[in-house]
A and B are shown apart, each in its own frame.
Chain A
Amino acid sequence: MRHPYLVYAGRRLAQAVVVILLTYVFTFVVVSILPGDPVTNVLRDPQNGFSEEQIQAIVAAQGLDQPLLVQLWTALTHFLSGDFGLSMRSSRPVATLIAEVLPSTLALASAGLAVALGLAFAIAYGTQFLPGRLGSGLRALPSLFLSVPNFVIGLVLIHAFGFQLGLFRVIEPESAWATAFAAIALGIPISAQIAEVLIANLDHEARQDYAAVARSRGLSPARLFARHLLKPSSLPVVTVIALTVGELLGGSLVTEAVFGRNGVGSLVQRSAAAQDLPVLQAVVALAALIFVLVNLAADLVYPLLDPRITLAGPAARRPGKADEAPHDAPLRTVTG
């Protein structure tokens, strides 16, 4: 059973497990090493009004009086069995707190990804077919999208479509229109990254001999695009999408704050304000888990999608991202 794909998949899977475990340890260490003691900050805050016995009870229940290594071991074993502990602020299970807000964030993130994909393909299509200035103007668009803070995009959308046009009301953040605009705000910066790779790949494919042959056969640009260029150009996008998952999750934190949605972002904000570290740690672990799993899936699926990939030796690496593709290769020769 030494099929190269199985060897590759096994190695990749082991690597993913190691990274997830290390991420948990890393967050634990960061949170423990950095100055600032959550126990004194939160529990001894006079506003919370805990008595000394209550504080001792909470400290004992959370295991905060144990040595750090013991704490890490307990936390890690509990984490592996799906137990994220109790929130320091509300004493409710962290898993429940996250489960309450996760659907809203996942909905926003997937809608944001859909917007990003649609926009990226539209921009890339435009750069290949729109003549002259319009086409080259589109090439500047990803760069602009990457320069605008996504909360500004959100505010502009709220101002233009919420206040001026009255399409949605800010006090109903979970309504369909509000969600759609939140997804647009989230998706625009991410579309830029996908579009950049897509454009570079399309330019590259359009310069290949097979494209010239197809053109000389009299194939129209639109058919050439749809039949020949699109598939090899969009395959590497699978890996790029997987890499943007982190930004989708991170971007949702800000977008939720702008649109007043109750998602993981607002949970993070409440927990950060109260220094509720168990919650923050669980959110980080979850985000890393999602990121690693999505990338694992992309890496495992990719060799199956693209028959040109050989898994022997060092070739089993990630296929080229934008920085390997020629960014400013000379303009392709236009025939016909």
Chain B
Amino acid sequence: MSTASLPAAARHPAAGRLSALRVPPSVALSLAILALVLAWSLAPGLFTAYDPTRGIPAHKLMGPSAAHWFGTDHLGRDLYARIVHGTASSVTSALLAVGIGVLAGGLIGLVAGFLGGLVDTLLARLVDVLLAIPRFLLAIIIVTALGFDTVNTAIATGISAVAVFARVMRAEVTKTRQATFVEAAFLQGGSRWHVLWRHVLPNASRSVLALAVLQVGLSILVIAGLAFLGYGDPPPASDWGLLIATGKDYLKWPWLVYAPALVTVASVLSLNRISRWLRRTD
């Protein structure tokens, strides 16, 4: 693929720069989709003139058209506007969840891998426990104990992701810990903190970053699942999962399910593609 595009790239400077970064077209498309989703969550007002909460009863359950791209719902609200305005909540929840997973899981993995010995064994059992509970069930238990709202579903999703991050971080740290250059850094008189900060963390960051991107997508799915079961904010919030849950009661008007589902799938697919790309290129 890249060899075939080389002569063309020489003619078009922009394309040349793109191929110099070695960004495959599917990754570029994924980045574009995510940029759009991010823009929706930052400034939803720029993308739609409709109010996501106020509907026109006479216009209820209209099919997709030029005026209403994704149709309207049972209260006559524009579905596209509801999706665009619900993006911020879905995206920030997923980011919050992954943030919790990276920080808590990363710390556990780092300590376990770097210190080793008894600490490692104890933390390994804790991770085993977290892995033994089905992720979705664990999230439900935690959100039940915390109370039902969207922030709590994000926290619960984050806690349920801790084990995965801990395992990957521990594996990376253990691998780097045995490398010759780490030994050399210690021999040169580097302190533990210096070696950790300068050598171990940068080497682990690549895998953890790829995992984090993948987990943003997974978290979107888990949070949508929790919202679907009604553990998030109630309507008129318009998280993607909640929109699908509302749509399931109106399956005769299938765009109410398909439109938010399409947006969810496109976002998660893009994140998976980028994560795969991050893992592959060196």
Residue of B134, B144, B257, B280 near A280 (CB, 8 A) is: B144
A247 surroundings in chain B (CB, below 8 A): 134-136
Question: What is the CB-to-nearest-CB distance from B59 to chain A, in angstroms, rounded to a whole number?
Answer: 23
Q: How far is the CA of A253 from the CA of B138 in the complex (A)?
A: 12
- Residue in A148, A250, A277 whose CB lies within 8 Å of B137: A250
Any B CB within 8 A of the CB of A104: no
Known: A254-B225, A275-B144. A155 touches B244 (CB 8 A): yes
Chain A residues contacting B251 (CB-CB under 8 Å) are 155, 158-159, 163
Question: With a CB–CB cut-off of 8 A, which chain B residues contact A163?
Answer: 251-252
A151 interface residue (CB < 8 Å to B): yes
The 8 Å CB contact of B225, one of A36, A151, A159, is A151
Proximity bits, A263-299, B CB within 8 Å = 1, else 0: 0000011001001010011011001100110000000
1/0 contact trace for B216-245 toward A, CB 8 Å? 010001001100110100000000010010
Residues of A within 8 A of B153 (CB): none
Of B130, B134, B228, B276, the residue contacting A143 (CB under 8 A) is B276
Categorize the interface residue count of chain B.
35 or more
CA distance A258 to B225 in the complex (A): 11
Most chain A beta-carbon contacts within 10 A, residue among B143, B258, B261: B261
Which stretch in A18-26, A45-53, A177-185 binds the other chain? A18-26
- Check A327 against B133 for contact (C-beta < 8 Å): no
* In the assembled complex, B145 has its CB within 8 A of some CB on chain A: yes
Given A149-B244, A284-B138: A291 in contact with B132 (beta carbons within 8 A): yes
**Cβ–Cβ < 8 Å partners of B247 in chain A:** 155
**Quick check: is A335 within 8 A (CB to CB) of the other chain?**
no
Q: Mark A1-34, 1 if CB is under 8 A from B, else 0.
A: 0000000000000010011101100110011001
Do the beta carbons of B134 and A291 come within 8 Å of each other?
A: yes
Q: Chain A interface secondary structure, helix, strand, loop or mixed?
A: helix
Whether, in the assembled complex, A85 has its beta carbon less than 8 Å from a beta carbon of chain B, the answer is: no
Known: A144-B269, A147-B265, A147-B268. A249 touches B134 (CB 8 A): yes
**Chain A residues positioned under 8 Å from B140 (CB to CB):** 253, 268, 272, 280
Contact A254 B136 (CB under 8 A): yes
Cβ–Cβ contact B228 & A151, under 8 A = yes
Cβ contact within 8 Å between A159 and B257? yes
A152, A156, A287: the one contacting B133 at CB < 8 Å is A287
A258 to B137 CA separation, bound complex (whole angstroms) = 16
- Whether the Cβ atoms of A269 and B265 lie closer than 8 Å is no
B241 near A149: Cβ-Cβ < 8 Å: yes
Supposing A269-B229, A327-B279 touch, asked if A253 and B265 sit within 8 A by C-beta, the answer is no
For B276, list chain A residues within 8 Å (CB). Answer: 143
A257 to B221, CA, bound (A): 16
Indicate whether A246 reaches chain B with its CB closer than 8 angstroms: yes
Contact B265 A257 (CB under 8 A): no
Q: Decide: B144 and A287 in contact? CB cutoff 8 A.
A: no
**Does A209 lie at the interface of the complex (its beta carbon under 8 Å from any beta carbon of B)?**
no
Q: List, in ascending order, chain B residues with CB within 8 A of A156's CB.
A: 257-258, 261
In the assembled complex, which residues on chain B have CB atoms less than 8 Å from the CB atom of A36?
Answer: 145-147
Is A132 an interface residue when CB atoms closer than 8 A count as contact? no
Does chain A have a CB within 8 A of B60?
Answer: no
A257-B217 in contact given A152-B244, A152-B257 (Cβ < 8 Å): no
Contact with B along A153-171 (1 / 0, CB 8 A): 0011011000100000000
B-chain residues with CB within 8 Å of residue A328 when the two chains form the complex: 280
The answer to whether A23 touches B129, judged by C-beta atoms less than 8 angstroms apart, is: yes
On whether the beta carbons of B133 and A288 are closer than 8 Å, the reply is: yes
A166 to B251, CA, bound (A): 14
Q: Smallest Cβ distance from B262 to chain A, in angstroms? A: 9
Q: Which residues of B contact A254 (CB under 8 A)?
A: 136, 225, 228-229
User: Chain B nearest CB: distance from A152 CB in Å?
Assistant: 4
Contact A258 B248 (CB under 8 A): yes
Q: Does B58 sit within 8 A of A, measured CB to CB?
A: no
Minimum CB–CB distance for A336 against chain B, Å: 26
- Contact in complex: A22, B225 (CB < 8 Å): no
The distance in angstroms between the C-alpha atoms of A36 and B141, with both chains bound, is 12
Task: Verify if B177 is at the interface (C-beta below 8 Å from A).
Answer: no
B135 & A250 in contact (Cβ 8 Å cutoff): yes
Interface residues of B in 238-282 (CB under 8 A from A): 241, 244, 247-248, 251-252, 254, 257-258, 261, 264-265, 268-269, 272-273, 276, 279-280
Does residue B183 face the partner (Cβ distance < 8 Å to A)? no
* Alpha-carbon distance A27/B137, docked complex (angstroms): 11
Q: Taking each of B129, B228, B268, which has the highest tally of chain A beta carbons within 10 Å of its own beta carbon?
A: B129
Q: Which residues of A contact B51 (CB under 8 A)?
A: none
Q: How far is the CA of A251 from the CA of B135 in the complex (A)?
A: 9
Interface residues of B (CB under 8 A from A): 125-126, 128-138, 140-147, 217, 221, 224-225, 228-229, 231, 241, 244, 247-248, 251-252, 254, 257-258, 261, 264-265, 268-269, 272-273, 276, 279-280
**Chain A residues proximal to chain B, CB less than 8 Å:** 15, 18-20, 22-23, 26-27, 30-31, 34-36, 143-144, 146-152, 155-156, 158-159, 163, 246-247, 249-251, 253-254, 257-258, 268-269, 272, 275, 277, 280-281, 283-284, 287-288, 291-292, 327-328
Query: 15 more A-B contacts (CB under 8 A) besides A31-B141, A155-B261, A287-B134?
Result: A15-B128, A19-B129, A26-B126, A143-B273, A149-B221, A152-B257, A152-B261, A152-B264, A155-B257, A156-B261, A163-B251, A253-B137, A254-B225, A280-B140, A281-B141
Q: Which 4 A-B pairs have the closest CB atoms?
A: A250-B136, A250-B134, A34-B145, A246-B134
Interface pairs (18), CB distance under 8 Å = A20-B132, A26-B130, A30-B141, A31-B145, A34-B142, A35-B145, A143-B273, A144-B265, A147-B265, A147-B272, A152-B257, A155-B251, A155-B261, A247-B136, A250-B135, A275-B144, A288-B132, A291-B133
